[in-house]
Amino acid sequence: MTVKKMIFMILILSALVQPCLAINLISGGNVIISHEKGDLIASGGRITILAPIDGDIIAAGGEININAPVSGDVIVSGGRVEISSRVGGKVLVAGGDVRVGGEVGKFVLIAGGDVRIEKNAKIHNDVFVAGGRITNDGFVEGNLTAIGGDYAGSGEIVGNLYFRKANLFPPHFFDIITAGFLLLGLLLVSLFPEMFQMGHKKIVKDYRHAIVSFFVGGAGIIVFLIAGLILIFSLIGTAIGIFLVLSIALLVTISNLIVSYSIGKIIIQRRVENRYVSMTVGFLILYMLTKIPYVGGVVLLVSTFIGTGILFLLAWDQARKFKQAASHI
């Protein structure tokens, strides 16, 4: 496939997607929405909504602040999420620190570490919360169901309160999951050392390669996700859509391992020529960087976009080499 054909296909896909869904796609380190928009999909280290959204919001980032009315649904995931304005539809949130302080027209579903329904919150339907510490100081017109470590608050509940104390995850659950990703990285670097080495060369060759990889990865993730979601709901293309979404999830996982390996190689340089040491050192450094408040979300976003872009570019290089080899047969 030539570059012209690829560009043409991307333009056709964009032309089909945008009018059908009327979605605004925005990503970056610090995303600020200061003008009224329709349906919005956003990703970034910090996302701030300062203007009304006439539609739904789907967002993922390190910190998400919704300070303007949303006529539709809010579906967000972030390290810190704060909703302080009116939401006409339902609210679905997954995050570490979650605050709901506005009016919500439909139900609220939250999974988080520290969840608080603020004093000025008014929810016109049921609330379902799973978290470590849950506080309700607002008004809930329906029932409130909470599962977690602790529940407190002086808010009013028109329906019934159902609280069950439970440990959502076993001890050191997330540490075990992290160790599992490191083991996956060590396995992949053992099976495909050339892929990791070529990815490292692209990252360190020139800063422009990293910039190109960032935009290629970001655009690829967004286009594949949108195409996958469209196909999932088109019935006839459901299987292909699920495959695309799962493929992006796999690429995102491997992308951060590619960046981890490169970080390890840069840190160690020529002192130790061992790919397993490079993967372990780089993985631990990247993991610690992602745990820094506010900055960690940006680091994870940049790492994911660059790593995914590297994988796309490597696949493009291999396809081009295969085509050249086939032409000589």
| pLDDT at position 228 over 70 | yes
Q: How far is CA 296 from the centre of its chain?
A: 13
pTM listed for this prediction: 0.54
pLDDT the model gives residue 17? 42
pLDDT the model gives residue 15? 44
pLDDT the model gives residue 171? 57
| pLDDT at position 14 over 60 | no
| pLDDT at position 7 over 50 | no
pLDDT the model gives residue 329? 63
pLDDT the model gives residue 272? 59
What distance, in Å, lies between the first and last C-alpha atoms of the chain?
A: 18
Q: What stretch of H or E contains 148? A: strand 144-152
Task: With beta carbons less than 8 A apart as the criterion, state whether 62 and 292 touch.
Answer: no
Describe the chain by its helix, strand, coil percentages, rounded to 5: 50, 30, 20
Average pLDDT score over the chain: 82
Separation between Cα atoms, residue 228 and residue 239, nearest integer Å: 9
Q: What is the DSSP letter of 37?
A: B
- With H, G, I as helix, E, B as strand and everything else as coil, classify residue 34: coil
Give the range among 35-39, 155-159, 190-194, 319-323 with minimum mean pLDDT: 319-323
Q: How confident is the model at residue 113 (pLDDT cuts 50, 70, 90)?
A: confident
Beta bridge partners of 174: none
What average pLDDT score do residues 127-145 get?
A: 91
Buried b (16+ CB within 10 A) or exposed e, 294-317: eebbbbbbbbbbbbbbbbbbbeee
Structural domain boundaries of the chain? Answer: 59-165, 173-327
Separation between Cα atoms, residue 40 and residue 22, nearest integer Å: 9
C-alpha dihedral, 53 to 56 to 59 to 63, nearest 10° = 50
Q: What is the DSSP string of 208-237?
A: HHHHHHHHHHHHHHHHHHHHHHHHHTTSTT
Of residues 276 and 236, the one with the higher pLDDT is 276
Task: With beta carbons less than 8 A apart as the criterion, state whether 220 and 308 touch.
Answer: yes
**The token pair that represents 274 in the structure block:** 């061992």
Over pLDDT 90: what percentage of the chain? 24
pLDDT the model gives residue 167? 63
Separation between Cα atoms, residue 71 and residue 55, nearest integer Å: 5
| pLDDT at position 12 over 60 | no
| pLDDT at position 278 over 50 | yes
The position carrying tokens 């602040």 is 65
Give the range among 123-127, 151-155, 157-161, 288-292 with minimum mean pLDDT: 288-292
pLDDT the model gives residue 80? 87
Q: How far is CA 213 from the centre of its chain?
A: 18
94-103, 133-142, 182-191, 317-326, range with greatest mean pLDDT: 133-142
Give the range among 16-30, 66-80, 253-267, 293-307 with minimum mean pLDDT: 16-30
What average pLDDT score do residues 13-42 get?
A: 69
pLDDT the model gives residue 20? 42
Closest C-alpha among 83, 71, 141, 156 to residue 115: 83
pLDDT per residue over 45-86, tens digit each? 788 999 999 988 888 777 899 999 999 999 887 788 999 999
